[in-house]
Amino acid sequence: INGVHMLLDEAINKLEACKQKQLLRFYNELDPEKQNMLLSQIEATDFSVVRTDKDSGARGAITPIDVTGISEINLRRNEFMSVGLSEIRSGHVAAVLLAGGMGTRLGSDAPKGMYNVGITRDLYIFECLINNIKDVTKASGNSIHLFVMTSDRNNDATIGFFKEKNYFGYDPDYVHFFIQDMAPASDYNGKVYLEEKWKISTSPNGNGGWYSSMAKGGMLDIVKDNGIEWLNVFSVDNVLQRIADPVFVGATKLSGCSVGAKVIRKASPDERVGVICLEDGRPSIVEYYELTDEMREAKFPNGDPAYNFGVTLNYLFRVEELNAIIGKSLPLHIVEKKIPHIDEHGEHIEPDKPNGYKFETLILDMIHMLNGCLVFEVDRKHEFAPIKNRTGVDSVESARELLKLNGVIL
Ligand code: UTP
């Protein structure tokens, strides 16, 4: 008996225990190299995430949360700015770019950050973000460490692109890439798909695992060695967002909260953003697709909507607090999606409508685990231009208009 046979037995046991034996359907047809590839993937995959029960469980009592509004921020702007700049100059602030997503809605195979939003010149999404962070390195005179999360699917392309573009003038010593985990994708009955006869179908496991992936990728040594105390985590698609914004840093530090969240006033009750609130007295976010009519219609005595602020996926976390929750598991979200796969006859299938589930944890669920959240309002015209789609709402088109409005030459 050699190692491979042992591993095959083990794989059979593992798959029988989680009812996924279909993954070995084509095993006997494969050459030894591909057999080994499949076996090692079976070994490495956590099948316990797979489920078909979409009900994510009852929520606690939802009440409105205090928001620090723009006018209040403006009154204390200088004070916040000076505290924030001093944190940045002490090297206490770093940034984390979440770029592991598939960006399926944009419909490009390349990493989303490689999308060119320029019209008369090249201007890539990554470049917009680097330009935004450079505003702060210039103002503070200090370099800021930037951690970039990728996935197995886009890591090489992302790193290659940064190199090719000379990091858009950012100091490469301050850019660190790390790879997030993948999760298996299944059909509606919870059977994991094969992407190839020798390859399990997987997709990035959501943006909730960013901090544990940083730990796995050795990034926390850099955090520790450099005395980094705050991590400003942001999404790849909001080309207008301020990164390591000194006013936000100063306000969050002075608030004493574990985390700050940049929020916008919703454009309409149905805008597709997660709404910030309290749940059983702790900060929490309700995703737009979970919003109840009751929440949508709730009003304060003065007539203002009670749940009127959406998160922009720009959070400032205190590292100490992240370390305290690192082992805790986040709720799992089940997302329906189109999953290309090999059917039982060995044919490649490219579905044109959703045919199964992927399993994700979300960064927004981390907020509920932390003590206190500063809800920090920003002006959406100047800080919120997410690119999710090609056209329409939250699109390349709408972001271009907003970039122009803010004086960015396209
Ligand atoms: P989205 O929720 O927009 O998902 O991600 P997505 O996968 O990029 O896009 P669609 O839904 O397929 O069109 C919000 C942010 O979280 C990151 C994304 O890169 C984006 O910055 N993200 C998402 C990850 O880093 N990893 C993931 O597994 C998912």
Shortest-distance atom of ligand 1 to CA 360: 28
Taking only the tens place, the pLDDT of each residue in 4-46 is 566 899 999 999 999 999 999 999 999 999 999 999 999 989 9
Taking only the tens place, the pLDDT of each residue in 184-241 is 999 999 999 999 999 999 999 999 999 999 999 999 999 999 999 999 999 999 999 9
Round the average pLDDT of the chain to a whole number and report it.
95
The confidence score (pLDDT) of residue 1 equals 41
Model confidence, pTM: 0.94
CA-proximal residue: ligand 1, atom 22 (nearest): 101
Burial 29-45 (b: 16+ CB within 10 A, else e): ebeeebbbbbbebbeeb
The confidence score (pLDDT) of residue 131 equals 98
Taking only the tens place, the pLDDT of each residue in 316-351 is 999 999 999 998 989 999 989 999 999 999 999 999
3-class secondary-structure state, position 387: coil
Taking only the tens place, the pLDDT of each residue in 101-146 is 989 889 888 999 999 999 999 999 999 999 999 999 999 999 999 9
Half-sphere exposure of 90 (CA within 13 A, CB side): 14
Pairing of strands 373-377, 356-360: unpaired
Q: 45 CA to middle of ligand 1, Å? A: 21
Choose one of 146, 203, 236 to mutate for the ligand 1 pocket test, by most ligand atoms within 8 angstroms of C-beta: 236
Does ligand 1 have an atom closer than 6 angstroms to the CB of 101?
Answer: yes
State the Cα torsion 246-377-283-96 to the nearest 10°.
-40
The confidence score (pLDDT) of residue 52 equals 87
Q: Give yes or no for a contact between 254 and 316, defined as CB atoms under 8 angstroms apart.
A: no
Does ligand 1 have an atom closer than 6 angstroms to the CB of 149?
Answer: yes
